[in-house]
Amino acid sequence: MTVSSGESSIDTKNSLSGLAPLEAVLFDVDGTLCDSDPLHYYAFREMLQEINFNGGVPITEEYFVQNIAGKHNDDIAAVLFPDDIERGLKFTVDKEAMFRKLASEQLKAINGLYKVKKWIEDRGLKRAAVTNAPRPNAELMISLLGLSDFFDAIILGDECEHAKPHPEPYLKALEVLKVSKDHTFIFEDSVSGIKAGVAAGIPVVGLTTRNPEHLLMQAKPTFLIQDYEDPKLWTALEELDKKKDAGN
């Protein structure tokens, strides 16, 4: 799956050229537009410790990655408070309020995000944010990143019958944008999100923002990138442009 750093060659497994002519690009939000997982981890760790969760022993980053990152709050509540889901849901509401305070002060875009944003805008492609985050979080992050006017739609797991890892949020995005899965790809950073995209039949470019590569690869992304400056991504996008031009 690796590509040599020689710019000229591309491993076919890292190709998006079969999607030409491209119609749309879909983005997850947390960990994909911005490196928000450390803020979520901090909020969960501090608040769980305050209520003596796990005997007061702080949760580890590994625990966070395996049980919390990328999941919908309903699922997180069931993991953390299996015997008292109502308490779990109340806890996640309070935690999101703490996250939004932290995000307002500390949120940063993933490296190269505005470069790929320009590439998408220059080609007049449709775009949607597809996230398991609650609406107040999603809208705050998108606004802080200056992307409120960039997205044609925001699709929330909360507003679908099933959240990720179910494919419904991504299928809904295709429907709202009126585009084909055969001419669309997704940027995602979590196992849950990659699984949702793959189940929807849409190629997924995975970002190794925080989650371990071996876990992400098990979800079967088309390929992985470190961030939006990764030469692998730009080689694939150039191939896509060439294929489109050849078809005109």
- Which residues are tagged catalytic? 28, 30
Question: Crossing angle, helix 85-106 and helix 135-144, to 10 degrees?
Answer: 10
Contact yes or no for 221/206 (Cβ under 8 A): yes
d(CA 20, CA 150): 22
d(CA 45, CA 196): 27
- Within its chain, how far is the Cα of 86 from the centroid? 27
DSSP category for residue 32: T
- Apex CA 93: angle with CA 107 and CA 38, to 5°? 30
Q: Which residues pair with residue 186 across a beta bridge?
A: 26, 204
